[in-house]
Structure 1
């Protein structure tokens, strides 16, 4: 018998992870802790940039039709899901990164890109990139859901919690403590070492995925959730 997975990322990513878990014959419960909300943004002049950068598929979706004016620029996307979202939005030249922002900026520097327009969310962790001029345009925010529906019931099932970001890890720890649940009863699988650190101590088990992407996180979960 295996543990269920507790998916905490916002939609539509939560449903995508649930479907991917099902292909691995894993049961998953989605209880998003945040809701993605598009923001009004002012479009910078595309002639000022050599490339566009996306570190989240949410940014592609939130920016919407305004991206059309940047269609002639090459796109650097953090990973597979973000690259696919960029292609679907109409970009023809898309470079797929290794799954994390640091690796993506290293790719940009390696390609000799100098001026980058980064479409991003209001909450982000910025990587140092001294060789790049990065202008950030905020197109969405992940708003906190004060009382995530079904979280307490989900914790009753002794799930393995999947943490897709450091911010999710921090919020989940706060909610678990607030509900009076014991951290020692909950194992967690995190997308990165930073997310493990953000969750804090006291969990039944903590481990980070081999690479910072959903496929690696689910592979780790498949191993950890087996009792």
Structure 2
């Protein structure tokens, strides 16, 4: 297919999954994970007194380790389908699956006390009346520098898929420090906040109509063909 290649920078295993989906759509997709996820040592509170678990990433269940085991009696309120699938694979029951970020999930919670399992970097949440959140950090995401092969591709022009605000900020910083012209790069963003964190000056900024990998790749396909 003619047009610019699509660069996927999210960590594994999501990187390979997105690249495979993109290639199945006919997109010239190339994976360059700029993040790696590592488990952290953490202590789980007793599940007694909690109404449920709040999870904003599948990494909670991929990297939570054996400490998760006593919490399996709590229903999971997941940010999206991938997180819900990871919860089920880890032996949890899913009570709610969101589609537009974690805040809308919180707003639909019944009154009660919930345990939020999260990464070191996480979105702040507003707690509705009657909803109490207690947080445990179970994993960390480490940013990596731009490899020379990716720098070379970006200098020639590319579309870059951005799945998180942290990815957007890191990518903007790395390309600036590497003296890569942002006007050669278009970005496809999963949500408006991600576009805001990427900043201005890109060749084009596109925002997916919904927070799913399918919607992001449909946007990327259009951008690859027209930018």
Tell me the TM-score normalized by structure 1.
0.93
Per-residue CA deviation, residues 79-130 of structure 1 (Å, 9 max, x unaligned), is 010000000000134421124111111221xxx2411111100001112123
Rounded to whole Å, the distance in 2 between the matches of 1:27 and 1:202 is 24
Unaligned stretches of 5+ residues in structure 2: none
Rounded to whole Å, the distance in 2 between the matches of 1:148 and 1:59 is 28
Q: Compared with structure 1, are the counterparts of its residues 37 and 178 closer, same or farther at alpha carbon in structure 2 (3 Å cutoff)?
A: same
Displacement of 1:27: 1.6
Give 2:75's aligned residue.
74
Displacement of 1:147: 4.5
Q: How does 1:19-168 map to 2 (within 5 A)?
A: 19-108=20-109, 112-131=110-129, 132-148=131-147, 150-168=149-167
Residue aligned with 1:138, SS:
strand
Per-residue CA deviation, residues 116-157 of structure 1 (Å, 9 max, x unaligned), is 111100001112123321111000010121344632133144
Q: How does 1:184-223 map to 2 (within 5 A)?
A: 184-223=183-222
Tell me the TM-score normalized by structure 2.
0.93
Displacement of 1:58: 0.8
Displacement of 1:13: 1.1
Rounded to whole Å, the distance in 2 between the matches of 1:99 and 1:13 is 18
Residue aligned with 2:63, SS:
helix
Residue aligned with 1:15, SS:
helix
Rounded to whole Å, the distance in 2 between the matches of 1:25 and 1:125 is 33
Residue aligned with 1:35, SS:
strand
Give 2:12's aligned residue.
11
Contact 1:37 1:62 in 2 (8 A): yes
Rounded to whole Å, the distance in 2 between the matches of 1:136 and 1:219 is 35
Contact 1:74 1:93 in 2 (8 A): yes
| 1:2 correspondence with 2:36 | no
Rounded to whole Å, the distance in 2 between the matches of 1:25 and 1:59 is 32
Taking only aligned residues, the RMSD between alpha carbons, in angstroms, comes to 1.4
Contact 1:97 1:107 in 2 (8 A): no
Unaligned stretches of 5+ residues in structure 1: none
Rounded to whole Å, the distance in 2 between the matches of 1:147 and 1:93 is 37
Residue aligned with 2:67, SS:
helix
Q: Compared with structure 1, are the counterparts of its residues 17 and 157 closer, same or farther at alpha carbon in structure 2 (3 Å cutoff)?
A: farther
Give 4+ residue runs of structure 1 displaced > 4 Å after superposition: none
Paired positions, count: 224
Displacement of 1:169: 0.8
